[in-house]
Amino acid sequence: MKDLIEKISNSLVFVWFLRVLISALFFVSAVAKMYPNPEIGLIKYFEIKQLVQGLGFNEILAQYFSRSIIAFEFFIAISVLLNNYLKRIIYPISILLLVAFTTHLTYIAIQGNDGNCGCFGELIPMTPIEAIIKNIITILILYFLYSKTSKNLSSSFRSLVILMLSCLLFMFIYVPLRSNKKIQENITTTFNQVTSLYSQYISQTDIDNGEKILCFFAPGCDHCQSAAKQIKELQNQIDNFPEVYVVFLDEEPEIVEKMNALGNSRADNLKYDQLKKERESLFLEAVPVLEKLNEVDPTNIEALKTLKNIFGTVGDAVKFKMIKAKLEELGQ
């Protein structure tokens, strides 16, 4: 068995298979950041959401950095299939790049962020933990290829430079830089242009334009009543306070009533599970809004309590404990 593994690892076909795999990985990563098109993928999600709003980049710097990162990924995707300074330059800088990304992802994961890290844009959503695992596997493959590559391969540094400059030129031509005015327009409208899933419940106004507060309340909920009272006080204290609209989750009592009316037969048990899923999905619809509220105001006790109750109801133990810990830090 040991001899077979050694034979496979020394096989030229196996080495080339891994090189093609690494090339495909970097190529898909570059293309995915521009999915479904550069205006949405590169500018709105990677450049504005990930770099400007997520990492605090300057708007101008973010334009150059985003295009350079993608150009570099294209460069690596092509270079691993060539023999130009594979051992001296290509494999080492690929590993260093992934180590840098992994360090940043580890920091994000420690902060409790389990959203899309943006490594593959919106094409393949991936959590920081998933991306870290992917990067570690990729680093191990690159190290293996490094160990199997000879230092004596004929290389042309000039060709390498031309390839890198070509990738950069391609990106800056394919996605031209924007003026300062255009940048501000994009940042302002990044989220306003998204059609809300809840617009169907608010018929008297267009909730997709301008600043509005959308509240999700359940009849008889003590936390909801407390939150409504606080919102009313803020409306009286703050001039130009955003319009407030409420969506009542009045489907829940009806679902609970149906669940309680069921018996113990197999058919009733199946129906109970179905209703339970409907009830959980009803609660989960409010989670993105509450989490966004928590980002804006991390000390909002009512939002945290509501999130804790939702995660407890749907059985998400990890997020339940995380929110509980936050509440304990706030003395609740």
Please give the chain's pLDDT, 332 residues, in tens: 555 556 666 678 889 999 999 999 999 999 998 887 777 777 767 887 778 766 778 878 888 999 999 999 999 999 999 888 888 899 999 999 999 999 988 988 887 777 778 888 878 888 889 999 999 999 999 999 999 888 766 778 889 999 999 999 999 999 888 765 554 545 444 444 444 545 544 554 565 666 777 777 665 566 666 777 777 777 777 777 777 776 665 555 666 667 677 777 777 777 777 777 777 776 676 677 677 667 766 777 777 777 787 777 767 778 888 888 888 887 77
Judged on CB neighbours under 10 Å (0-12, 13-18, 19+), 331 is exposed
The pTM (predicted TM-score) of the whole model is 0.55
Question: Can you give the residue ranges of every domain in the chain?
Answer: 2-189, 199-329
For 72, residues 6+ apart whose C-beta sits below 8 A from its C-beta are 97, 164, 167
Which residue is it, tokens 């302002």? 188
pLDDT of residue 197: 47
pLDDT tens readout for residues 165-180:
999 999 999 988 876 5
Phi first, then psi, for residue 260 (nearest 5°) are: -70, -25
Residues 6+ apart with CB under 8 A from 59: 52, 180, 183, 184, 187
Query: Quick one: pLDDT at residue 187?
Result: 44
Supply the pLDDT for residue 250.
56
* Residue 212, SS3 per DSSP: strand
Rounded to 5°, angle at Cα 173 from 99 and 51: 40
Whole-angstrom Cα distance, residue 327 to residue 305?
8
CA–centroid distance for 147 within its chain:
34
**Alpha carbon distances (Å) from 104 to 47, 113, 114, 327:** 16, 12, 13, 27
Q: Tens digit of pLDDT for each residue in 291-300?
A: 766 776 677 7
Could you give the C-alpha distances from 132 to 53, 256, 326, in angstroms and in order?
22, 41, 25
Q: What single-letter DSSP state applies at residue 200?
A: G
From the list 219, 217, 218, 214, the residue with the least C-alpha distance to 199 is 214
